[in-house]
Amino acid sequence: MAESNHWRMQLNNYLQSNGGARSLTWEVAQSGPLHQPMWTAIAFIRGVEYGRSVGPSQNAVKEEAARQTLTALLQDRGMRF
């Protein structure tokens, strides 16, 4: 099993501590045949896209989109992650 950094949890914790817990929304869609689905996850903060990922695992694409979102939010604040 691949190492998980729990990006969704870290993103939620960050948003909660900065008053933006309700600003996160997700768009998750499945495409392709049922035996080989492809998932797309898009993370939005206040309606602005911050992260997007496509892949064969719904969990993995949400984790990657959360990673991208948290990284972008921290960069906006001038923090290194």
Q: Mean pLDDT across the chain, nearest whole number?
A: 91
| Domain at 30, CATH number | 3.30.160.20
Q: For residue 1, is it within any domain?
A: no
Q: For residue 50, is it within any domain?
A: yes
Backbone dihedral angles phi then psi of residue 36, each to the nearest 5 degrees: -150, 65
User: Could you read off the pLDDT of 37-61 as tens digits, one per residue?
Assistant: 999 999 999 999 999 999 999 999 9
Tally the domains of the chain.
1
Q: For residue 2, is it within any domain?
A: no
Backbone dihedral angles phi then psi of residue 48, each to the nearest 5 degrees: -105, 130
> Taking the CA atoms of the chain, what radius of gyration do you get in angstroms?
13
Q: Tokens for 40? A: 């797309």
Q: For residue 30, is it within any domain?
A: yes
- Grade residue 1 by pLDDT with cuts at 50, 70 and 90: very low
Range of the domain at 66: 21-76
Residue 69 pLDDT more than 60? yes
Q: For residue 65, is it within any domain?
A: yes
Q: Residue range 20-28: average pLDDT?
A: 93
